Amino acid sequence: MQFPDSGQSGLWHGTTILSVRKGGVVSVGGDGQVSIGQTIVKANARKVRRLGAGEVIGGFAGATADAFTLFERLEAKLEQYRGQLMRAAVELAKDWRTDRYLRRLEAMMIVADKDVSLVLTGTGDVLEPEAGIAGIGSGGNFALAAARALIDGPLDAEAIVRRALDIAADICVYTNRNVTIETLKA
């Protein structure tokens, strides 16, 4: 599941986030490149991290400060709803869509726990990918296509994420090979 640029100020440039679920394992990975226009300003950003006492993995595309705000809000929702990712994500999406401050945040998120993977957007979407594969960001389509091609082969979820992000880096100028991958087992 990939979502196109919303048309807002090129905000998805510099990010590729991919989630793959296979064999009772979910892996979420992202590249480390941050770009402003055509300039790389950072090559080792950490766009994927553990949330909710380490039981949830999140990755973001978009404005960094906005993503950190959303991660903090999701952490609070996970605490409020005792680690129930789906419930926390739905409540965050409601707030994101209706709160005047949050509505201005320019970011997308992929979040996953041992049971579910979700894509969250500022338009109130909480979407679960059908095949357990989701990609966001400027290189998201490339990584998504590569992961779909690799999913039926011998590689595990983490290896698929690593290879798909490498393929995306070959194609997308806003994606580099400095990746962070987090994995959870069911």
So which residues are the catalytic ones? 15
Contact 165, 179 (CB under 8 A): yes
Give the Cα separation of 85 and 70 in Å (integer).
Answer: 14
Q: Give the end-to-end CA distance of the chain in Å, rounded to a whole number.
A: 22
Contact 46, 32 (CB under 8 A): yes
Task: Count each helix (H run) and each strand (E run) in the chain, helices first.
Answer: 5, 11
Amino acid 29 reads G
